Amino acid sequence: MKSIPTRTYKQKLAMYAVSAGILFAYVFCFSTVFRAFAATDETSQSQAEYEELNKQIEEKKLKLQELDQQIQQFEDSIKVKQNEALNLEGQIDLIDTQITQGKADAERIQVEVDQLNLEIQKIIIDIEERKQQLGVLQEHLADYIRLLNEYDNQNVLSMLLTDGSLSDFFDRVQYSIDIQQEIGENAVTLKKAKESLETDKEAQESKKQDLTRLQERLIQSTRDLADQQSYKNDLLATTKDSQGVFEDLLSEAQLEQKQVDAEISSIERSAREKLQDEGTPLLDSSAVLSWPVKSNKGISAYFHDPSYIFRRYFEHPAIDIRVSQGTTLYAPADGYISRAKNAGMGYSFIMIIHNDEISTVFGHVSRIDVNEDQFVRRGDQIGLSGGMPGTPGAGQLTTGPHLHFEVRSKGIPVNPLDYLP
C-alpha cells in the first residue's frame, strides 16, 4: 500500500495563497459592491427625482426673494400712507395697502410651506437610500465575518502541525490580524451610515415641526385678511363715507386712550401698595430689561415721536416694535402681572410691575397668556402681539401689526430704549 505523500512547502504555500485569494476576493467584492451601489444610485430614478426636487426648491427660494421685495415695498408704502390716515380716504387707502400686503404675506407663507414639503421629500429619499446602504453593508460584513471564522476556526496546535515552519505560522496569524482590522474599519463605516440615517430622521422631524408652525401661521394670516376686510367694510358702513363721522371716531379713540392711561396709572399705584403691604419682594432688581419680542423689522414709531400720526391727539408714550400679528411676547424682567385686560375688539393690554419702581405695558395684544396677580420670570411667554386693524385687542387707534411697548418709572412714561440693551 502506497503512503500518502506529504505536501511540499510550495504546495502549502499555494494552498494559503488560494485561501487568501478567496478572502481578498470577498474584501474586493465588498468594496466593489458598495461603489457599484453608489454609482448605480447616481443614475437611478430616485436620483433623478432628487435633482428635480432640488430644482423646485431653488425655484421656491427665488419666489421667496421676489415676495420679500414686494412686501418691503408695501411696508414702505404703508409708512407713507400712515401720515395720511387721519382722514377717511387716507385710512381706507391704508387699509387697502395693508390688505394687499397681507395677501403677499400669505402667499409667502404658502411658498415656504411648499418649499418645506419639497425638502421633506428629499429627506425621505435620503432615508430610503441610507436604509439600502445599511442593508448592503450589514449583509456583506456578515459574510466577511463568517468567512473569517471558517478560516480561523483552528486551534493553535493544529496550525503548528499543518504549517511547515514557524514563519508560515506567524504569516498566517498576521494575515488573520489584517482581516480583523479590515472588519473593524468596515464596522466603523457601518456605524457612520447608521448615524447619518439618524441625522436624516431628526432633520425630517424638525422639518415637520416647522411645517406645522407655518401652516398655523397661514391659517392666522388668512383670518387676519378676513378681519381687515371686515374692518374696512365696517368703517365704511359706520362713517357712511363722511369725514365728519370719521373725526368723531378718532375723538372717541382719543378718549379711550386717556381712560386707559388713567387706568394704568391707578392700577400701578394700587399694585405697588398691595405688594408693599404684603412684603412681597419682586424677583429681579436689574433695571436693564430684555427685549419683549423678537423682531428684525425695526421700530415704526419712537417715544414722543414727532412724526407720530396721532400726535395731534396725544404724545406717543411708547415705542412701536414692528412685528407680525401673533408674535410671541416675553416678560422683559421678573415681575407681577397687575393688569391683563382683554377688551374684546377694543384696546387690550398687559401691565407688569417690576422692581426699582419700573413697570412695562404691552399694548394691542391679540392674546393674553397670563393672569392678574401672577408672578412671571424674565423671558416667560405672556401673550401674542396684535395691532392689525379690526382684530381682537387692536382697538381703534392702530395702523397695522406691531407691539406698543411702554416703560414707566414711578408711573410716568419714559423712553423704553433707555432701559433696553
- Tell me what the mean pLDDT of segment 23-40 comes to: 45
Instruction: Round to whole Å and give the CA distance between 218 and 316.
Output: 32
Instruction: Round to whole Å and give the CA distance between 355 and 375.
Output: 12
- For the CA atoms of 32, 30, 46, 125, what is the dihedral angle to 10 degrees? -140
Report the Cα 407 to chain-centroid distance in Å. 29
Backbone angles phi, psi at 31, to 5 degrees: -70, -35
pLDDT tens digit string along 201-250?
888 888 888 888 888 878 877 877 777 787 777 777 777 778 777 777 77
For 320, the 3-state DSSP assignment is strand
pLDDT above 80 for 308: no
* Lowest mean pLDDT across 64-68, 154-158, 274-278, 306-310: 154-158
pLDDT tens digit string along 366-421?
999 999 999 999 999 999 999 888 889 998 777 778 999 999 998 899 999 999 98
Instruction: Round to whole Å and give the CA distance between 344 and 328.
Output: 19
pLDDT tens digit string along 195-212?
877 888 888 888 888 888
- Tell me what the mean pLDDT of segment 166-187 comes to: 63
The pLDDT mean for the chain works out to 77
pLDDT at residue 131, rounded to an integer: 80
For 162, half-sphere exposure in the C-beta direction (CA atoms, 13 angstrom radius) is 12
CA-based nearest residue to 194, from 137, 139, 122: 137
Residue 182: pLDDT band (50, 70, 90) is low
Could you tell me the sign of the dihedral formed by the alpha carbons of 379, 291, 315, 239, in that order?
A: negative
- Tell me what the mean pLDDT of segment 332-348 comes to: 93
Q: What is the CATH number of domain 250-418?
A: 2.70.70.10
pLDDT tens digit string along 82-108?
666 667 777 788 778 878 888 888 898
The Cα-based distances of 249 to 82, 111, 292, 348, 363 in angstroms read 17, 39, 31, 18, 20
Domain coordinates in residue numbering, the chain: 9-237, 250-418
For 350, the 3-state DSSP assignment is strand
pLDDT above 60 for 13: no
pLDDT above 50 for 20: no
pLDDT above 60 for 24: no
pLDDT at residue 292, rounded to an integer: 96
For 394, the 3-state DSSP assignment is strand
Are 421 and 369 contacting, i.e. CB atoms less than 8 angstroms apart? no
Are 321 and 250 contacting, i.e. CB atoms less than 8 angstroms apart? no
pLDDT at residue 32, rounded to an integer: 45
pLDDT at residue 163, rounded to an integer: 53
pLDDT at residue 39, rounded to an integer: 45
pLDDT tens digit string along 274-284?
887 777 666 55
Are 420 and 322 contacting, i.e. CB atoms less than 8 angstroms apart? no
Residue 154: pLDDT band (50, 70, 90) is low
Instruction: Round to whole Å and give the CA distance between 403 and 421.
Output: 18
